[in-house]
Structure 1
Amino acid sequence: MKKRIISGLAALAIVLSGSGAVFGNVVDLQFDIAASAESVASGTCGENLTWSLDNEGTLTIRGTGEMNNYVHSYDSDIGKGYSKSIKRIVIEEGVTSIGNNAFTTYCNGITDVTIPEGVTSIGANAFELCRLTSINLPDSVTSIGDFAFADCTKLKSVTIPRNVSSIGKNAFKSWFESDLESINVDPDNSYYSSVDGVMYNKDMTKLVTFPCGKTSVTLPDTLTSIDENTFYECEKLESVIIPNGVKSIGESAFEGCRKLKSVTIPESVESIGKDAFYDCTAMTSATLPKSNIKIGNYAIGYCYHLAEGYPWSPNFVEDGPRVNQNFKIYCYEGTSGEQYAKNNKIAYELREDIEPANPVVTYTPGDGCVTLKWKAVKNAEKYAVAVEVDGKWTIVENTSDTSFVLRNLKPGVNYSVAVLSMFDSKWYVNYSNMITVTPYAKTPVYPIVTNTEYNEIYNQFRIHWSEVEDAEKYGVAVYIKGKWKIADQNIPATKTSFTSPKLTPGHQYKVAVCAKVNGNWQTDKINSRAVTVTIVKGTTLLKGDVNGDGEITVTDLTKVAAHIKGKKLLSDDEKLRADVNGDGIINITDISKIAAHIKGEKLLS
């Protein structure tokens, strides 16, 4: 179908009755209507489904029922021959499934896909290697196949809908550098859950998918195992806290995490699989537990090195695993950790049994914040800053530093704060070193009325005031019969003006503005901050009399037409007079009503 652009012109001609004079005033309203783009390729992809590609790069799947499943990626001919042209995919309503390997071969250049409500399954490898930047999965989806979105490296976040009950192996895995930082699950999903963008099964005993773009993770205490390949090739991961409760770390679980610097294996772990931390090239230390555990070959401290020299050279070194440079194991005497270090000729240091302790904390107050400081505790792996809220202690930050700025505090309010130490991946929960901290009290700042405007037509006033830092909202009060009465107490903090309703001419009103800060209205000194507004007798608003000369004529019509065409915009007062039907919009309807009044067909009220 040939693409056509249709240009239209709408004109209004007004013929004045009586003297027979004719006045023509034309309002140009130009618009373009784009017809469907031209189809360049098409085919079938299901018993009742077809695909078509237009010359703008949109590939559309339409029809009813399930898409074909393709055994191999090269079996799909959807978009065949046009892989460089396809930009987006639109799947229309009526389609109920997306087939295996549907788009991975010829459509992998797409950045956008529309999946409609009604699609229940997304097949294995369906979008593998596609350059999608976002996906919106409908609530109808119940299953996502193996590798369905694997190596979609440009994805930044994914939300799993509430009805998904099955997610295949490596559905969102990337073996290349990935931007994916969060996989969030609808809270109403009965099978999966998520914390901090990491996806788990519902009871959080098993990690399902880790987004490869994340740089750090603290795993939940409910986790019982870390399966093989869970963090494989997560090249951006820099730190991980493994909780006490994990019993096994699978084969190649963290292999290829080349920015991971150190790891502490908790006392609960019974086995570490082969290559578990292999090729973690930035890792300089690993802390192993007191217990004797099973440690697989090359599990910790090894990375892959290429061959050096030539095979016939006397200094030739074959490629393969070697111990990381500057790597050290921290372990206990007589344990499997010490034996592993000796067997593999890895540098190690024996740990001492030291009673756990939390640091002594001091603080410096600031504006809305306090700076906490403490001395390092021997053998502590990390620290947690905890705050008591409503009688319960809540950890607000994990840090390896010995200082932290606690922000967003209410001025002058006391807070109970403690810093906990971590030993063997477990927090030493003891709040006996708790301290009370107080940020600086803030001198109240009140909103000051900076300008008052008056509309004589409607007998209304508008006041403007200065912005107050940390204001949650504003309120306006009016002094009537010896008492302050609220006129509006729900003015957003982003708005610093108020327009009154229509008022009685000849009256004076005492008005004050208050801000709500930290949950409290600042009503003190309200009398000294008030301003007085006098309402003088206003004029009568004549709808249609745009120029305000007391008559409705062709001149008024011309001004409205010029405003609609954008040639000369009306002032605020002129807009009030031009909006004859009172819908808040000045358009052809208002012109028609003014024209009918001028011709005497229907007078304006």
Structure 2
Amino acid sequence: MKHDVTKRTLAGILSVLCIAGAIPTGINTNSLCFTTAVTAYADAEQGSVSSASVHEVSTLDEFLTAANSAQNGDTIKLTDSFTVVGNYTINNDKAFTVDFNGNMIYFDGEGNYKVQSYFYINNNDAHITFLDSGYGGGMSVINPCVVRLIMNNSGTVELLSGTYIGGLDTIRTNTNNAHVYIKGGYYDLLKEDDEGPFFRNGNGHYYLTGGYYTERSNMSDTRFDLAEGHEYYETGNEEYPLGIRKTDATAIKDAEIENISDQEYTGSKIMPNLNITFGTRGLRENEDYTVSYENNINVGTATAHIHGIGDFCGYITKTFSIKKTPEYSIPQNVKAPFSSTLANAKLPTADNGTWSWENSKTSVGNAGKKTFKAVFTPKDTEHYLTISGIEVPVTVYHTYQKVSAVEPTCTASGNIEYYICSDGKYYTDNKGQNEVSLKDTVLPAKGHTYSEPDWIWSDQTASSSITAKAVFKCQDCRYAETVNAYVTTKVMDPTYISNGKYVYNATVKFGGKTYTATKEITINKLKYTAPAISYEKGDEAVKLTWSNVDGAEKYGVAGYVNGKWVVLAEGEGNSYVIKGLTAGKQYKVAVITKINGQWIKDVSNAITITPKEAPHEYPTIISVDYDQKFHQFRLNWTKIKGAQNYGIAVYMAGRWKIINQNIPADTTSFTSPKLKAGQIYKVVVCAKVNGKWDTAELSKRAFNVAVN
């Protein structure tokens, strides 16, 4: 045997980011990586978080499309029943809910022995919750020879509620990556099977904490232990006599379930929120109980079926009425005399019901337009809602004598417009809403009413001897008075980053008030010249050097990252080395200056820098060993920094064919399968770094292996 090896080097020093998600108990985590690497100045792509959606489906194809594309928190809601013939894969790494919504998924098949019609769950990160918010929905078998409804190969399946009528079993696990939580629901096998409704194939994990089972479901022979702290119990139901509950579970019937108020008919399913408490604890749906609704669309009596789960067990129903909203017109022109009660405000009659006040003893109070709450009671209370809290306008009336307004002058008094009411009181309106005393109607002589003063400054140039005066004018008679102001001066010196100014504050006292005015004259800021920058390239680094700025206390190195300038470092020297850069990538940097305790954030001296290109590196073959007896060879190569895994490819029929691309990063050898003697194979070893295979110059890197 002989071989030819071509040596090459692998480019770059790359970072590996391996993020591990939540791992359910029992999953082997030996192959998971928990290392995070960060590249300097890299612009991180912002991920988006989608809001939860409800996908309504009515066919198998629509269901499969939704199940394989659902996002975290989504719900797939059935709007019709459909039939499954054959097995279909659900491969989704998200957590979502399937709501039967009172509909059935039927499993059929051709043949008479162990027909393979089922859903195949095949993703470690999947978490699918099955429940039924309707009533009587779930999964059922048409052909009694169907073996199972769900095959869970990897991921988590949670059965929370619904009806599951299986063939030989309802759900079976296929590997130790399969996790099944049975928290509720009804289970019935079509024919007896000593393995029960749940079949473990391999080391799948089952957690049985709830559910109801028929006699033929054969739970007494189940091969799975109940979840710790749970027990079987007799439900008292003839069809499903056996249940599972927490050993100290409380019967849901012992909880306080608030009556459900009458609901308004909408033409759609009505599912009111339940208020269930036990002591001071408020119960939560799908954590302490599940609920499904029956006859909850049309007008009539609907039923809520409530099952305890978790800390609660058992079953109870609660009914409520669905009624239409009656038609009514809010009464108009309802009147009541001053200081009477609503008993004196007569409501009209209606053909389809009656009107009444919520409290006829309520006083109508003073005169005016008001609203009071009334109740409309339909004649047909069985099918229509009684509506409370309807705001009905009521006019409370008085008689009034108007006194016209007289305007005061600077020296003579006047009066406002007001009304003398029949109750002997005075009002500013003819509805008895704003009462005043007689003296409150008098408008005294106004005297002089001065506007804000006009200010006159003696000079417009910067000077410490500037003067000012204020001129006050009467708004009515235009009388004017001039008052000299007291002026103070404050000087604010200019800096490199801001203008200076003279600030003049003038103050006068007039009419018992103090008036102020300010005048500013700008002093131009000092001229600043940013330091000049030069740089030297290094491996994954750049050294910056810059010129001095007079009066500088410190310098800061800033980088342009994610659309904004960020200070990377600060110091008193005139040079700085930026490390951790990516070879060949461009970076925008600037140098700013701190003078008189303030940073001058002038980045007009910004330059673009680029570190040196790093050498390229490929896996290098160390040796090739041969086994002439079995016509095999073994490759050994150098380890590549940052490699996630290695792959082997062979050049066959004019193209490269991958024979293994899952060699772990800590393995630097490969043993071929048995080969034909007398063949020469052209082989190459590749490394996967940062999620990409390095396939550059494959032909130059390839080497020959001759099998004798």
TM superposition score category, shorter chain reference: under 0.3
TM-score (norm 2): 0.24
Greater relative contact order: 1 or 2 (C-alpha under 8 angstroms, separation 6 or more)? 2
User: Would you tell me which structure has more strand in proportion to its own residues?
Assistant: 2
TM-score by length of 1: 0.27
